[in-house]
Amino acid sequence: MTEQEKSTEDLIFNAAREEFIEKGFDGARMQEIAKRASINKALLHYYFRTKEKLFDAIFDKVFKIFMPKVLDVMQSDAPLFTKIEVFIESYIRLIMENPHIPSFILHELNRNPDRLVGLFGNVAGIVKEKGFSRFSEAVNEEIKKGTIVPIQPEQLIVNIIGLCIFPFIGRPIIQGVIFNGDKLQYDNFLESRKKEVTKFIINAIAVK
Amino acid sequence: MTEQEKSTEDLIFNAAREEFIEKGFDGARMQEIAKRASINKALLHYYFRTKEKLFDAIFDKVFKIFMPKVLDVMQSDAPLFTKIEVFIESYIRLIMENPHIPSFILHELNRNPDRLVGLFGNVAGIVKEKGFSRFSEAVNEEIKKGTIVPIQPEQLIVNIIGLCIFPFIGRPIIQGVIFNGDKLQYDNFLESRKKEVTKFIINAIAVK
DNA sequence: GTCTATACACTGATAGAC
DNA sequence: GTCTATCAGTGTATAGAC
């Protein structure tokens, strides 16, 4: 399907996704979305009625595309170390392809935490039940076997995800302060992180 | 100085700080700031002329209070492990007292990265020169001595700060998905993190 | 310095022709 | 389905009295 053949709804959706991700809900403008989609404002409301409903459609889709990736690896039967290794590499790669998504999700979730409730029973619930519980069991087994040091699975999962996501959320300050604003240095930093974070975490929990 | 004796400028400033931190620049309303300060809108403009200037005053102050804390520990002469240990505990404690500041700074810095340039030569520059360079040297020395594994100081500092900050930025999703929305569990999680993060990092880099 | 009243621009949303 | 025109509401900012 070429750009010209896309349905108007898709045009609007993609334009809105860009605008909302760049500016956030409060900063986004319906006029700007219409401009990006090369249509007029009235048509936005014809398809999605309100800005809020349009935003909801975007947020749900982005969230549902982004979160389940966590599961693909977490619920596999591979050994814990392998799981972690594969997760980190694929997750950082995923974020590198969509570097503004984490800030977008976290900021909008903070603006309206109740949004999570609407996602429960759907993605959030699945992440917890099929993803985290499974991960949690695997961690506790390894602790019992003595292959990793004692650690709460909740602390470990937050450490893993935080180490993957933080460099993107904190990009302006990292690139600005640590790398003197040099984009290339920052990009190299990200690239080498895929292996560095894995090494770091394995070191932190492995019993040697 | 009691609440009544505070200058109008301070009243405005504190009201604006709350509003901006809660809603961000785009979401904040001058009317709401006036209401919080128990004055009228016109007076806001009398003291700060524009919303932008008022915001700048807030952001600068918050940033300058929050960032230098990183230095207090980083530039000390204590051994690296002690530095890290003291930093993590005091930094997580500081954020627990101001849990919304990290999201605020990172979001607004993302909205307008050029803001950092204005802070350069001031705080950002100091953080880099006196804080990071000093830290970087200490790390490389320990690597040479063989007490820690080889690691780029840039990776290590981002890991340390990320592990401290991320639980606060990701609060809605962590509390919602991992702790079923239970605030108490989340608070306990934060509390134990002060020691858990330290252990985690020392484990990750120490040669045993 | 502080207030009330108001100007002025912009935003989300709708009406109605085609 | 798509457009132009327009409304009602809200937001920042200013004028002017006290």
Distance from CA of B203 to the nearest CA of A (A): 5
- Mark whether A84 and A102 lie in a shared domain: yes
Whether A87 and A136 share a structural domain: yes
- Three-state DSSP class for B150? coil
Pick left, alpha or beta for residue A62 (phi over 0 → left; psi -120 to 50 → alpha; otherwise beta): alpha
Give me the residues near strand C, CB below 7 A. A 28-31, 41-42, 45, 49-52; B 8, 39-43, 46
Q: Which amino acid is at B137?
A: E
Per the model's pLDDT, the better-predicted residue between B114 and B131 turns out to be B114
Q: Which of B52, B166, B195 is the mutation pick for testing A, counting most A CBs within 10 A?
A: B166
Residue A3, domain member (yes or no):
no
d(CA A197, CA A92): 10
**Assigned domain for B166 exists:** yes
User: Of B58, B78, B97, which residue constitutes the final position of a domain?
Assistant: B58
**Alpha-carbon dihedral sign for residues B107, B113, B115, B120:** positive
Range of the domain at A103: 67-205
Which three-class secondary structure state does DSSP give residue B207?
coil
The share of chain A scoring above pLDDT 70, in percent, equals: 96
- The phi and psi torsions of A206 (rounded to 5 degrees) equal -70, 140
pLDDT at A31: 98
* B148 vs B206: CA distance, rounded Å: 4
What was the pLDDT predicted at B28?
A: 98
What does the block give as tokens for A159?
Answer: 């450490």
* C1' of nucleotide C1: residue with nearest CA: B43
A84 and A51 share one domain? no
A166 vs B167: CB contact, 8 Å cut-off? no
pLDDT in tens, A48-60: 999 999 999 999 9
A186 and A103 in a single domain? The answer is yes
Query: Do A108 and A175 belong to one domain?
Result: yes
CATH code at A29? 1.10.10.60
Nucleotide showing the shortest C1' distance to residue B8 CA: C1
Q: Is A45 found in the same domain as A129?
A: no
Residue B136 belongs to a domain: yes
CB atoms < 10 A from the CB of A201, how many?
A: 23
What residues contact B145, with CB distance under 8 A and at least 6 apart? none
What is the CA angle B112-B14-B7, rounded to 5? 130
Whether B2 is in a domain gets the answer no
Assess whether pLDDT exceeds 70 at residue A5. no
How far is B120 from B99, CA to CA, in rounded Å? 25
Q: Classify residue B3: in a domain, yes or no.
A: no
Report helix, strand or coil for B98: coil
Residue nearest to nucleotide D2 (CA to C1'): A43
Single residue among B58, B75, B100 that ends a domain in this structure: B58
Q: How far apart are CA A204 and CA B202, in angstroms?
A: 7
The answer to whether the beta carbons of residues B108 and B24 sit under 8 Å apart is yes
Distance from CA of A174 to the nearest CA of B (A): 8
Kindly report the number of other CB atoms within 10 A of residue B159's CB atom. 27
Instruction: Give the chain B residue whose CA is nearest to the CA of A180.
Output: B128
Across the interface, which of A24, A109, A174 has its CB nearest the CB of B172?
A: A109
Domain count, chain B: 2
Average predicted confidence (pLDDT) for chain B: 93
- As a whole number, mean pLDDT of residues A34-53 equals 98
Q: Do A33 and A115 share a structural domain?
A: no
CATH of the domain at A130: 1.10.357.10
Tell if the CB–CB gap between A196 and B170 is shorter than 8 Å: no
The answer on B104 and B191 residing in a single domain is yes
Residues B66 and B106 sit within 8 Å (Cβ to Cβ): no
Same domain, B53 and B73: no
Residues A104 and A178 in one domain: yes
Nearest nt (C1') from A47 Cα: D1
pLDDT at A155 over 60: yes
* H runs (alpha helix) in chain A: 8-27, 30-36, 41-48, 51-66, 69-74, 80-97, 101-111, 114-119, 123-126, 133-145, 153-169, 171-173, 183-205
Q: Which of B22, B39, B58 is the last residue of a domain?
A: B58
Chain B residues closer than 8 Å to A178 by CB: 128, 132, 154, 157-158
Over residues B139-164, the mean pLDDT reads 97
Asked, for residue B1, whether it belongs to a domain, the answer is: no
What length does chain A have? 208
Position B204: which residue type?
A
Count Cβ neighbours within 10 Å for each residue of A43-69 and write b for 16 or more, e otherwise.
ebeebbeebeebbebbbeebbeebbee
pLDDT at B4 over 60: no
pLDDT, residue A66, reads 86
**B47-81 pLDDT per residue, tens:** 999 999 999 999 999 999 888 777 777 778 899 99
Could you check: is the Cβ of residue B42 within 7 Å of any atom of nucleic acid strand D? Answer: yes
Q: Is residue B79 part of a domain?
A: yes
What's the pLDDT at A121? Answer: 65
**A9-CA/D3-C1' distance, Å:** 16
Pick the closest to residue A160 from A101, A105, A206, A200 (CA basis).
A200
Does the structure show a pLDDT above 80 at B123? no
User: Residues B119, B199: one domain?
Assistant: yes
Candidate from B27, B177, B205 with C-beta closest to A26: B27
Rounded to a whole number of angstroms, the distance from the CA of B181 to the nearest CA of chain A is: 9
Domain match, A31 and A108 both = no
Whether A2 is covered by a domain: the verdict is no
Look up residue B122 and give its DSSP letter: T
Cα nearest neighbour of B171 on chain A: A110
A104: Cα within 13 Å, side-chain hemisphere: 25
